[in-house]
């Protein structure tokens, strides 16, 4: 079975390609290398023994994208390609909507034209907004998003749901990721942030490697056990495994399903910091700052639906996530 992976050289995409290849799927990657590099293909080959077919193509280039469909008999699509920086999306909403919405529509139109009926889409827990009580359940539906990035995820969910209502042959799985962190155990692939990291673990990794002086903790006066924000961190390899399960599910089921992918357990910023200190064997300097605008106190997933429908349960704990992140950081600096 041949899977088209858009954004397949990116952070989550590269780990997913590894898991797909390990499970006997053929992989065709489309990526414009905006936020990744061609060397990732060699790393995937080093891990799996297989080099995926690769097109350096922008999903906004519909003609270029069509070539991928004419040259390959695609059975299913996993759609990761998109921009993901929350702050940047507020400053450049049209750029975000063009890439994340127009690019996606190009892809969905070509899927229709070439009768590709299975789609797994990268959504985010951000679509819950701060409207609901934790643990976030899929049945809550879509909340009020607070930035164009989040809104682009919500709009994609709505578009895919409408497509699926209009075409009963479609099988779509919308995966709402919680907070993916960590790296492959080989240390060969992981997250390489573009500029100053916005997310917690990439920032900690840069403090540990000496690129940044200290971690800025965005508030310690939340209504949480230690006052710092609580999130559902999930190992990127667990998340990648969930995509293989979603592809398997889409093979057997028509319609659209929204499924949370998290561990169901929340950790505070201080707990993550301590787990990372354990992994790297040194103290990590930090300072408490004001709250970051737009942050919520606590976010974690209800994981029952993922267990029931996909038979998916995350395996790795926070210590392992930090150990793998640290190994990747060390190997990157060599
Ligand atoms: P990433 O930036 O590492 O990967 C995205 C890839 O898409 C990159 O390789 C980039 O070059 C490519 N790309 C972007 N625009 C493109 C275009 N127009 N045409 C072709 N390729 C393009 O990001 P990631 O962390 O791997 O995230 C993958 C997906 O998951 C994204 O859609 C993101 O919004 C979503 N997501 C990520 C997180 C997270 O915390 N990392 C959380 C929830 C959802
Ligand atoms: C952020 C995005 C969210 C996106 C998600 C995954 C915002 C407001 N939200 O969410 O839309 O889906 O990333 O990409 O940007 N923290 C610090 N210091 C730091 C960085 C983070 O204390 O330098 C804290 C945050 O306040 C939060 C926790 O660490 O409590 C996790 O932050 P982060 O990794 O940015 O993820 P989210 O806030 O869940």
Q: Mind listing the pLDDT tens digit for each residue in 117-154?
A: 999 999 999 999 988 999 999 999 999 999 999 999 99
The arithmetic mean of pLDDT across residues 36-50, rounded, is: 98
What pLDDT, on the 0 to 100 scale, is given for residue 130? Answer: 85
Query: Phi and psi of 324, rounded to 5°?
Result: -70, -35
- For ligand 2, whether the C-beta of 303 sits within 6 Å is no
Which of 4, 5, 10 most suits a substitution to test ligand 1, by most atoms within 8 Å of the C-beta? 10
Q: Mind listing the pLDDT tens digit for each residue in 298-333?
A: 999 999 999 999 999 999 999 999 999 999 999 998
Q: Mind listing the pLDDT tens digit for each residue in 154-207?
A: 999 999 999 999 999 999 999 999 999 999 999 999 999 888 999 999 999 999
- For ligand 1, whether the C-beta of 122 sits within 6 Å is yes
Beta strands in the chain (DSSP E): 2-6, 26-31, 53-56, 76-79, 118-124, 171-177, 179-181, 215-218, 230-231, 233-235, 255-261, 267-268, 286-289
The arithmetic mean of pLDDT across residues 13-17, rounded, is: 99
The residues that are catalytic are: 149
Query: Phi and psi of 176, rounded to 5°?
Result: -95, 105
What pLDDT, on the 0 to 100 scale, is given for residue 333? Answer: 85
Tell whether pTM > 0.85.
yes
Q: Work out the percent of the chain whose per-residue pLDDT is above 90.
A: 98
- For ligand 2, whether the C-beta of 268 sits within 6 Å is no
The arithmetic mean of pLDDT across residues 28-42, rounded, is: 98
The arithmetic mean of pLDDT across residues 36-44, rounded, is: 98
Kindly report the average pLDDT of the chain as a whole number.
Answer: 97
What pLDDT, on the 0 to 100 scale, is given for residue 296? Answer: 93
């Amino acid at each position: 079975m041949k899977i088209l992976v858009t954004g397949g050289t990116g952070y989550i995409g590269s780990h997913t390609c590894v898991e797909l290849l390990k499970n006997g799927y053929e992989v065709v990657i489309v990526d414009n290398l905006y936020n990744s590099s061609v060397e990732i293909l060699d790393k995937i080959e080093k891990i799996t023994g297989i080099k995926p077919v690769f097109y350096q193509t922008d999903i906004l280039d519909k003609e270029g994208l069509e070539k991928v469909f004419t040259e390959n008999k695609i059975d299913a699509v996993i759609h990761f390609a998109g921009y993901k920086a929350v702050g940047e999306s507020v400053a450049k909403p049209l750029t975000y909507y063009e890439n994340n919405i127009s690019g996606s529509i190009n892809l969905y139109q070509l899927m229709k034209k070439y009768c590709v009926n299975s789609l797994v889409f990268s959504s985010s827990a951000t679509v819950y907004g701060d409207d609901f009580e934790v643990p976030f359940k899929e049945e809550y539906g879509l909340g009020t998003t607070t930035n164009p990035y989040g809104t682009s995820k919500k709009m994609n969910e709505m578009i895919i749901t409408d497509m699926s209502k209009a075409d009963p042959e479609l099988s779509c799985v919308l995966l709402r990721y919680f907070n993916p962190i960590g790296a492959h155990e080989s240390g060969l692939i992981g997250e390489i942030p573009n500029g100053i990291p916005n997310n917690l673990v990439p920032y900690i990794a840069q403090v540990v490697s000496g690129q940044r002086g200290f971690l800025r903790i965005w508030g310690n006066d939340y209504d949480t056990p230690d006052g710092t924000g609580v999130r559902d961190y999930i190992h990127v390899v667990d998340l990648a495994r969930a995509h293989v399960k979603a592809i398997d599910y889409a093979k057997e089921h028509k319609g659209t399903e929204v499924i949370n992918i998290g561990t169901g357990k929340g950790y505070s910023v201080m707990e993550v910091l301590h787990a990372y200190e354990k992994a790297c064997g040194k103290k990590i300097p930090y300072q408490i700052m004001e709250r970051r605008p737009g942050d919520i106190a606590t976010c974690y997933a209800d994981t029952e639906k993922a267990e029931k429908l996909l038979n998916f349960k995350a395996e790795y704990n926070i210590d392992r996530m930090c150990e793998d992140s640290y190994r990747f950081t060390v190997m990157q600096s060599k």
